[in-house]
Amino acid sequence: MAVIINAKGTSVQQFQIGKQGPLIKNVSGNINFKDSTDSSLTGITIDSEVVGSPTGGDQGSGSVNAVSLHINGNALPTILTGSNTLDFGSIASLGQEDLTITVTGAAVGDEVALGLPAAPTSGIIFNTFVSAADTVTVRAHNYTAGAIDPASATYSVRVFQ
């Protein structure tokens, strides 16, 4: 398989892959890596910005930061994280309680994954959602016939944008 490397942007002085890995010098815009044998794949695109002033020497004195990463034309999601110790009160039979975790950058409609403590309380179902900007709500629902007071524990969340 051959690989096509395209560097697009306002300035490209040097881009190569050698024994020591990729060398990128004076690149702004985006860089695309593509399988030359399969035209249906658009490859991996790194939208980049130049930081510093990479003008001298083989490696330059600046760096290229990835602003976004695309694989076959699809952007990989940004993943935001947060955690907090949550202490739910006593939840009545078939009742629920909401507590929140701050996740800077989270927006209503983003997808959320919840990391439960090592020993989550039996009889409780947890749901998560972004309820407001920068706020993830963890909802504990008691589906049993009696009240349950979950132990205080640390919960983590990942928000996908």
Architecture of the 79-160 domain:
Distorted Sandwich (2.70)
pLDDT (mean) for 42-53: 53
When pLDDT is cut at 50, 70 and 90, the band that residue 7 belongs to is very low
pLDDT (mean) for 82-105: 97
Select from 155, 63, 29, 150 the least CA-distant residue to 103.
155
Helix, strand or coil, per DSSP, at residue 34: strand
Segments making up each domain of the chain, as ranges:
3-75, 79-160
Report whether 29 contacts 49 (CB < 8 A): no
Confidence (pLDDT) at 5: 46
Residue 50 has pLDDT above 50, yes or no: no
Confidence (pLDDT) at 76: 75
When pLDDT is cut at 50, 70 and 90, the band that residue 83 belongs to is very high
Question: 113-159: per-residue pLDDT in tens?
Answer: 999 998 899 999 999 999 999 999 999 999 999 999 999 999 999 99
